[in-house]
Structure 1
Amino acid sequence: MPKSTPVRAPLHTRRIPWRALATAAVAALLAAFLAPAAAQAAPPRESRPIYSYAHAVRESVWVDTGLDEDGDGTSDRVAADIVRPAEPAREGRKVPVVMDASPYYSCCGRGNESQVKTYDASGHVVRMPLFYDNYFVPRGYAFVGVDLAGTNRSDGCVDVGGRFDIQSAKAVIDWLNGRARAYTSRTGTRTVKATWTNGRTGMIGKSWDGTIANGVAATGVQGLRTIVPISAISSWYDYYFAQGAPLYDGGPDDLAGYVESDAARAHCAAEQRRLADGSPRSGDWTPLWTERDYVKDAAKVRASVFVAQGMQDLNVRTKHFGQWWDALAKNGVERKLWLSQTGHVDPFDYRRGAWVDTLHRWFDHELLGYDNGIDREPTADIERHPDQWVTSATWPPTGTRATTLHPAPGAVSGVGTLGPRPATGTETFTDDPKLGETDWAAHPTTPTPEKTGFLTAPLTHDLRVSGTSQVTVTATATTASAHLSAVLVDVGPDTIRDYADDAEGITTLENRTCWGASTPGDSACYLETAAKTADVDYTVFSRGWADLGHYASLAKGVPLTPGRSYTMTLTLAATDHVVPRGHRLALIIAGTDRGLIDPPSTKPTVAVELAGTSARLPLVGGAQAFAHATTGTTTTPAPGRLKGVGAPRTTSHIPGD
């Protein structure tokens, strides 16, 4: 992607005959003369907090989107609240922009402390949620908080990731770059231009906010230099469904109603109906989902992408970052990645100091053009144990190979082996919607009727799974509908973040730390957090689900013919997990995963045909690493019920904090 070049101050020196340097006094004078120029010669590597936050300019504009979503006959305007340093404009210098476009600025709040925007009597923003303005404005950036269409002070209707959502933010970037019109009020005629910015914009945000960053980047809009999506959606179909299996008991119309403003609620019934009609609970892919699929447009992305994701996020699951990451890689997009053990948690709340420092350096590099070396550092940071991080030069690591493993019958029906050789035979399970992955993984070596499991022997060497796995299942159901779940389990003791807890792996403490400058109305100080951990005997580290009736196509599910076999490949959530020496790798295949997918209309008994069933895992070192890790013998844990985290909490259909 095009890079901005840092301004390098020229080294100006006066030509002085060497004979004139005969005395020490003259030499000292020359040294004093040269010192400032030499200091200016070094290119800047870090923006410094040299500007006043207390005296920053706070203003609001309403940007014309060019769309009339609410059908009132006038073009919708979206509100953008701005905090920017006053000094650069007075000195004739332009600043870049950090932008967070969100539907949550009034209804629900942002961050661990659920902050909302507040305003003074004149309607100017007083408190901007999160630390971005406090930290970056003194360092020479503007911060822009955009209310998505139909929320807070913006016109229009909420369309949940559709073109109005995306245009809400894209229009602001167009305005920042002189391509759109903005006004000083919601209904007035007085226009305003963004003369204070160079147009270089970096978008950031968690969940829905980060999703908008993905969607805007997929338009290829000029001026958007980088995005930082945190636990963000890349395809809205995959938020509500997993290959035909419904994931939540709501739909995008419910979500729109949750965040829309009172004004939108009064005018947007037609949009609500369109959302409901376009997202049937059948799990069929409709045009509504095509509009909200950003992965298909990855080739248009001009911006660099810095992804942060919790590997145990069961709200916005890691399939979203995995498919987005892979699509961006195919198109040569510059990328960086953080993967934590948490659930749906912002890096500010699990690795605060390192996150702020890395984000600072990333924006300095991408928006100011500073050569600070961040582009030459390892691509990925991965949390291997709570608060213990490793790096990976590339991700997935060089040498990662898709390796096919096959389930085979074991000595006891319902508990088989997992290895490199194909096998024949059949294993059966009966769907029990009252049970889920934690129940299955608690009995990996014991046959139970609701699952079938396959395990390696205890590993003699570590085995690293890095990337997206696929499990192909050939199955016969006794009824006309059946759902499938496939989970990968690390069987062995460990201490992990307690992602199933309500806080999803963190504990909020009572002390505060400060990240930037404060004003009486906008504090830069936030409650600290610590890792909330659990001691476990197993860890479910990847999972995937599907409706077998969608075996042929996501476009249309069909009733199954009892007794007929069908083959379907489940795409599992992307991950980076090391199964340590002495542990066992398990593949479990079952039906309804309680609390994570809705059950089918029937409770089928499913026969899994082993000859047509396999797991394709991205192993670092490939088949050779698997052979190495499964050579020899180690102590086998005694069979019995194992302990994991509590059952995953029932996830809401709100992709926010």
Structure 2
Amino acid sequence: MKKSTIVSIVVSSLLISPLVLARHVQADEVGSNSVEPVLATSTNQESSPDKSVSEQVASSENAEVSKESSTENVGEKAVVEQAIDSNQSIGEKESHLDKAVPESSNVLDKAASDKGTVPEKPVADTGSDTEKNVDSRIESNATAVDSSRESGNDRSATRVSNPPKTTLADLSEVTGQTRTEEDSKKEATISEAVNQLLKWASTKEGQVGSTDQDRLAFAKSLGMIDQKAKGSDPVTDLVTMVAAAKKLHAAYRAERKTPLFMNGRAQPIFPFTRGDNPEHYSYENSDIVRYVVYVETDYDTDGDGKPDLVKTFVQVPKAAVKGDYKAPTIFEASPYVTGTTEERTLEGLGLKEGGKFDMAKLYTKPDKRKAVKEVSTEEVAKTTNPKEWYYVNPRESSADYTHYDYENLNWYNYYLVRGYAVVTSSGLGSKGSDGINTTGSDLEVAAYKSIIEWLNGKRRAYADKTSNREVKADWSSGNVAMTGLSWAGTTTFGVASTGVEGLKTIVPAAGIASWYDHFNSQGSPLDTGASNDLSWLSVYTSGRILDKDDWDKIKDYYAAYITKLNELQHKDGHNYNEEYAKRDYTLDAANLKAAPLLIQGLNDDNVKPKHFELMLEAYKKAGIDPKVLLHQGNHVYPSTRWAGTTVAGQAFNDLMNQWYSHYLFGLQNGIEHLPQVTAQDNLDPNKWRRFDKWETENKITARAYSKREDVTVSSDFYGTGENWTTRNQDAAFHSSAVSASYAAPVDRDITIKGHIPLHFSAAFLKGDKKHAHVSATLMDVSDEEFDVVKEEITYDKDGYSTRTLEKETVDEKGDWHGSNLDSLPVKEYKTHKVKSVVISRGWMNLANPDSGFNSATSRHSIDLKENEYHNYTMYLQPNLYTVKKGHRLVLTLHAFDPDYIYYADPYEVKFKTDSISATIPIVEESQSLLLRYQPNEKDTEYAKLADRILAIAKKNPAVEKDNQQDKGSGSELKPGGQMDQQPPVGRDSMEFRKEQKVEIANLEHKENDASSKEVALSREVRLPETGQKANSWSIYGMLSLLLAGLWKVIGGRKEKK
């Protein structure tokens, strides 16, 4: 073979290999259902569905980039699930279409719109004669580029083979920068062009970023450059870059400061001034107006004869206060942020249980206050003491840490500089507010609803608690979004269930849909002691104690309320009752109107994934298409004040900016056409998958098989000598006295998607019938270690657990915020090696055979009788989890789950083997599996038993008496037996807040890990970025095989010669 021929083959192969690989990968990831295509960010929409916040578009400016504007065909269908790499934003298709096309639009002043007047445009900068000349030359040279553009705005695909070069001299003609003879010869890089153009557009130092990295990020946000562009790349589209710079230039110099929309999102053109320095903050010197009002509610929950007032903290760009535009609001309703007590019982507050309390009095509606005068926002803001929103909480501080509230003061700065207002309230019973905290009840929800009504002009708020001076939200457009983590995510769904006008969207992260399922599961508690009381969260957040005089007025009244709440909550054991119904937001699904983006960590064992499913089902009943974002974190909000994250390569905050721009400003950017589900992969956190719906019709029908007709499990870890801290790892490979284990090999990759109904027939044998709790796990097991994103759980000698998720900093300043805000680190999860991992688990009380998936089905218990069988369906938590070919699915059955509850008095439960089956929802085609019993090595008799004929699946009668003596219990139970390592009484649901405080302390002390690597303990507080790294190695591998093959061919030819 000639050398030239060999070279040709090698070169051709190198060129075609990535395409072959891409097709191969794409083929592997095509599913069986269809998904709605993700629309391009729309850039040519001039109208807005919300007349009060219409876009203002300068047609002459749009003409410069109209050739790039395009909206994708909604009718086209893509594959059911798309695996997308980390460099592809949520608004892009798999072809990596760049939607970054400039769009200029300023928001109309609502008042002007109401009057029918033409809104005032930003002051146009006509530019110098030199600029006009260079514009003309640039536009004429760009014809070839523009004519080759395809729909979809794929700039990376529209480069011509020999685009006209852009020199530094070209840039200097636009920006007026001094140039040299060399400038006309030197080709300009993107970084040089971006720096010059943005600095030319700006009016002050630091306005467009302090580093090259910041300015490149800004340019991508504006649509000035391609999302994948590097600073060192040559400039190939100066037309678009100049057009974008001109819009920014005009916006900065506009007489009326209004939000700027380009590339389908609000841009960071508003300046920021900090509010966490009370000694130096003032209204006059701050670009962000901050003040406090007291919103009047309907009810008198503290019994003082007046409607409760709830303290509400407002942050809003000064331009809105001055009347330049009407601002929409991002509202966080969090009982935590104004200060917590760090206590969980009345005793911790120095109070005693007792006293009589009539719950009906909480719903008393006194006459409303009469306003004596009206004062402006500016008047109130000038007189509000900054210490109203920034103060030390001694109860949350320690010797080496000082805690300041409002703790979320700086959490939403990203949105303030883009023109949004931010409102925060801790609601009833918090520091500065009236009332008492009622832990998620309808009264709590009504109070938060009142704040939205104030923002809509339908309710009164006052400048203080005594003067009756009314303050209107005169800067507000009336459009509101609610968001937050945990309880702050819960309130979003609660308020949405009221159907309140003006609430346009909710973005709950790990929010509770039904408080019953937060504390219980199908009749079984998920915690013990005070941590299983609704009241403990009320005690924890009763911030009125921070003001002694205020607290003294209500403390005895409050103690009586808590006493009554405990009584009513537990009067039916761990069953659903009226108190839980007041806190079950799914019951009011018909009222839901606000568009939802539901965020959930798939490794969250605090607020479990079932809650997002309950929300999703409620929205479907309301006829609304919910969107779901599932990540591999635990109890976290994806982005925080100390670190950012990405979703499929797009910054989480940027995604939310698109979401809020659409739902709050009315911008038509296509974000509403996201697929229903976007989910991070468990095996590779760099991979994100999309599904057009959460439900799947495909399933694995898994049945248990054993040579024995039944199996008995004990709760007695002490008496049986089993180690409870390794029970799951042990059960992954064999059964024991405390677990029954069944396994089936998986012959192809499968993706579990949804909750798992587990059916079985069981009988209580002996022991303490008051606590006949059973639990189950489904595990992914392999004989060889494999990589997965999952919490590692370790236990100390006292039984306390530590949960870790390993992560690293992938970019110290990669989370760009814009304006004069600092950029933050981007964090990324790491996988770790395991041989077994719990996919899902469930819990149930044998006394609740009729309990189903929905909370309200757990109303009734039966009196258990020994050796009497009942049929049960336990619902294991939903997950999205991929099991690799060659692994095993292992189903295990246990008594109580010591990670959640602990009972010293042992009991035994017997399961009928042939009744055990699981319906496992999967993405791939349906199949059947036989889960074979895994005997313990000590169970030498099992191998000697004859195989049984597999019974035909049938439903057992609801109640069946077993008259035979149990053969599974070999010894008497030992009442009160103690484990060597006892689980602590109750899990600490506040671990995520402890972690937040650690992060805040680290941030304040500027402690940076030199290795950029850290371990997040217990409930993680953020979700890191993702990045695709595997594909490049796959390409190298393919090329290596190709070259090896060629070498062999050449060698063979030589041998023949």
Q: Indicate whether the TM-score tops 0.5.
A: yes
Structure 2: how far apart are the matches of 1:525 and 1:165?
36
Aligned to 1:617: 920
**Shift in Å, 1:91:** 4.2
Matched, 1:46 2:265: yes
Amino acid of the structure 2 residue aligned with 1:292: R
Structure 1: how far apart are the matches of 2:883 and 2:261?
47
* 1:279-290 → structure 2 map (5 Å cutoff): 279-280=569-570, 282-290=573-581
Aligned to 1:278: 568
Moved more, 181-190 or 323-332: 323-332
1:424-476 superposed Cα distances (whole Å, 9 cap, x missing partner): x222211236765851343333231111121112x221111101111122101
**Shift in Å, 1:318:** 1.1
Structure 1: how far apart are the matches of 2:560 and 2:823?
43
**Shift in Å, 1:506:** 4.8
* 1:275-424 → structure 2 map (5 Å cutoff): 275-280=565-570, 282-348=573-639, 352-353=645-646, 354-384=651-681, 385=683, 387-396=685-694, 399-409=696-706
Secondary structure of the corresponding residue to residue 302 of structure 1 = coil
Structure 1: how far apart are the matches of 2:776 and 2:290?
51
Amino acid of the structure 1 residue aligned with 2:271: S
* 1:180-259 → structure 2 map (5 Å cutoff): 180-249=459-528, 250=530, 251-259=533-541
**Contact 2:268–2:819 (CA under 8 A) maintained in structure 1:** no
Q: Which has the larger radius of gyration?
A: 2
Structure 1: how far apart are the matches of 2:893 and 2:728?
9
Aligned to 1:449: 737
**Contact 1:255–1:653 (CA under 8 A) maintained in structure 2:** no
1:15-52 superposed Cα distances (whole Å, 9 cap, x missing partner): xxxxxxxxx99x979x99xx999989998621011112
Aligned to 1:505: 805
Secondary structure of the corresponding residue to residue 211 of structure 1 = helix
CA 1:255 to 1:43, structure 2 compared with 1: closer, same or farther past 3 Å? Answer: closer
Matched, 1:163 2:442: yes
**Contact 1:436–1:593 (CA under 8 A) maintained in structure 2:** no
1:104-149 superposed Cα distances (whole Å, 9 cap, x missing partner): 1133599xxxxxxxx9845453566265431111111000011221
1:52-109 superposed Cα distances (whole Å, 9 cap, x missing partner): 2221111111100111001111111111101101113424421100010111113359
Aligned to 2:179: none
**Contact 1:433–1:593 (CA under 8 A) maintained in structure 2:** no
**Contact 1:200–1:223 (CA under 8 A) maintained in structure 2:** yes
Higher relative contact order (CA 8 A, sep 6+): 1
Matched, 1:105 2:337: yes
Amino acid of the structure 1 residue aligned with 2:879: T
Residue of structure 2 aligned with 1:535, choices 814, 833, 845 = 833
Structure 2: how far apart are the matches of 1:272 and 1:648?
27
1:612-641 superposed Cα distances (whole Å, 9 cap, x missing partner): 3321221223524x57xx99xxxxx99999
Aligned to 1:152: 431
Structure 1: how far apart are the matches of 2:983 and 2:690?
29
**Shift in Å, 1:379:** 3.0
Structure 2: how far apart are the matches of 1:583 and 1:258?
44
Structure 2: how far apart are the matches of 1:74 and 1:532?
54
CA 1:648 to 1:527, structure 2 compared with 1: closer, same or farther past 3 Å? Answer: farther
Secondary structure of the corresponding residue to residue 704 of structure 2 = strand
Amino acid of the structure 2 residue aligned with 1:153: G
**Shift in Å, 1:375:** 2.2
**Contact 2:717–2:738 (CA under 8 A) maintained in structure 1:** no
Aligned to 2:987: 651
Aligned to 2:715: 431
Aligned to 1:420: none
* TM score, norm. by length of structure 1: 0.83
**Contact 1:306–1:337 (CA under 8 A) maintained in structure 2:** yes
**Contact 2:290–2:315 (CA under 8 A) maintained in structure 1:** yes
Structure 2: how far apart are the matches of 1:121 and 1:12?
47
**Contact 1:3–1:366 (CA under 8 A) maintained in structure 2:** no
Aligned to 2:57: 9
**Contact 2:895–2:908 (CA under 8 A) maintained in structure 1:** no
Structure 1, unmatched stretches of 5+, are: 14-23, 111-118, 414-424, 632-636
Residue of structure 1 aligned with 2:542, choices 251, 260, 271 = 260
Secondary structure of the corresponding residue to residue 449 of structure 2 = helix
1:145-194 superposed Cα distances (whole Å, 9 cap, x missing partner): 11221112211111100022212211100111111110011233101111
1:367-387 superposed Cα distances (whole Å, 9 cap, x missing partner): 112222222233323222363
Structure 2, unmatched stretches of 5+, are: 1-47, 62-131, 141-241, 251-259, 274-286, 343-382, 391-405, 794-801, 852-857, 939-980, 994-1057
1:295-326 superposed Cα distances (whole Å, 9 cap, x missing partner): 12222110111111111211111111122222
Higher helix residue share: 2
Structure 2: how far apart are the matches of 1:615 and 1:533?
28
**Shift in Å, 1:503:** 5.8
**Contact 2:323–2:475 (CA under 8 A) maintained in structure 1:** no
Secondary structure of the corresponding residue to residue 436 of structure 2 = coil
CA 1:570 to 1:189, structure 2 compared with 1: closer, same or farther past 3 Å? Answer: same
Aligned to 1:581: 885
CA 1:28 to 1:346, structure 2 compared with 1: closer, same or farther past 3 Å? Answer: closer
1:568-625 superposed Cα distances (whole Å, 9 cap, x missing partner): 21111111011111111111111111122344x752221111333321221223524x
* Root mean square deviation of aligned Cα: 3.7
Secondary structure of the corresponding residue to residue 468 of structure 1 = strand
* 1:455-534 → structure 2 map (5 Å cutoff): 455-457=743-745, 459-479=746-766, 480-481=769-770, 482-492=772-782, 493-500=785-792, 502=802, 504-506=804-806, 516=817, 529-531=827-829, 533-534=831-832
CA 1:524 to 1:351, structure 2 compared with 1: closer, same or farther past 3 Å? Answer: closer
**Contact 1:310–1:339 (CA under 8 A) maintained in structure 2:** yes
Matched, 1:552 2:840: no
Amino acid of the structure 2 residue aligned with 1:616: T
**Contact 1:344–1:504 (CA under 8 A) maintained in structure 2:** no
Higher strand residue share: 1
**Contact 2:644–2:824 (CA under 8 A) maintained in structure 1:** no
CA 1:76 to 1:506, structure 2 compared with 1: closer, same or farther past 3 Å? Answer: farther
Secondary structure of the corresponding residue to residue 605 of structure 2 = coil
Secondary structure of the corresponding residue to residue 155 of structure 1 = coil
**Shift in Å, 1:647:** 12
Aligned to 1:60: 292
Structure 1: how far apart are the matches of 2:578 and 2:925?
38
Structure 2: how far apart are the matches of 1:310 and 1:436?
26
Structure 1: how far apart are the matches of 2:684 and 2:464?
48
* TM score, norm. by length of structure 2: 0.53
Q: Count the aligned residue pairs.
A: 603
Amino acid of the structure 1 residue aligned with 2:592: V
Structure 2: how far apart are the matches of 1:524 and 1:149?
34
1:399-421 superposed Cα distances (whole Å, 9 cap, x missing partner): 543543221115xx6xxxxxxxx
Amino acid of the structure 2 residue aligned with 1:80: T
Structure 2: how far apart are the matches of 1:373 and 1:571?
36
Secondary structure of the corresponding residue to residue 687 of structure 2 = strand
CA 1:387 to 1:463, structure 2 compared with 1: closer, same or farther past 3 Å? Answer: closer
Aligned to 2:1022: none
Amino acid of the structure 1 residue aligned with 2:495: V
